[in-house]
Chain A
Amino acid sequence: KQEVTQIPAALSVPEGENLVLNCSFTDSAIYNLQWFRQDPGKGLTSLLLIQSSQREQTSGRLNASLDKSSGRSTLYIAASQPGDSATYLCAVRRGSGGGADGLTFGKGTHLIIQP
């Protein structure tokens, strides 16, 4: 059974700092890994999608890496801003076949950027 763990569960840093969020998963048989952002009471905003054959993806100040063999991904946020405050979710898409195609989510990292 796939399990996804995100560390830390919460993080509070001053504005302007670079930071790293971590995600680990137990079963390396995945199609892809996706990072999402969720604001309180809101839906999910997709940030980055990394296919299993890729090593990293970049979008603006965000960079996500994937090491499939070790079951790890990191989300790097450069020059953090107060508007980055949200919960960040990591999810993997199962590649075990047999019809299984849902995403398995971590519990998220609650990020606060202090002005």
Chain B
Amino acid sequence: NAGVMQNPRHLVRRRGQEARLRCSPMKGHSHVYWYRQLPEEGLKFMVYLQKENIIDESGMPKERFSAEFPKEGPSILRIQQVVRGDSAAYFCASSSAAGFYEQYFGPGTRLTVT
């Protein structure tokens, strides 16, 4: 059973470009979470999605960031018009259900904005 998969592992974008980060949850998992780890800061929750629904986006910046988890395919975190402050590691986690069930983390995507 493959774990949570994220791609690309490393992404370099110039200021103003778009970044698209992908996350494939573990088989059988329908709950996806995105987290961001800024340099010298802790991991911060961004958004929680279930298939075709955003459940909680309280940690998502109000502008330029969006997330989706379509019926088919991976979850996508999209950052439009990237700025240098977006440089960070972005982690995806998945779970079989909410609440007591463990979240399993992917290896992360390291975004560098030049």
A interface residue numbers (CB < 8 A to B): 31-32, 34, 36, 41-44, 46, 49, 51-52, 89, 91, 93, 95, 99-108
Contact = CB atoms under 8 A, between A and B. Distances in A.
Interface of B: 31, 33, 35, 41-46, 48, 55-56, 58-59, 91, 93, 98-100, 102-108, 110
Contacts of B41: 107
B107 A93 contact: no
A75 B46 CA distance: 26
B58 to A, nearest CB: 7
Contacts of B31: 101
Contact of B105 (A43, A52, A93, A106): A43
A104 B45 contact: yes
Contact of A99 (B48, B91, B103): B48
Contacts of A106: 42
A111 to B, nearest CB: 16
B100 A32 contact: yes
A44 B98 contact: no
- The 7 A-B pairs at the shortest CB distance, nearest first, are namely A102-B45, A107-B42, A43-B107, A105-B43, A44-B105, A99-B56, A101-B98
Contacts of B105: 36, 43-44, 46
Given A43-B91, A51-B100, A108-B42, A101 B56 contact: yes
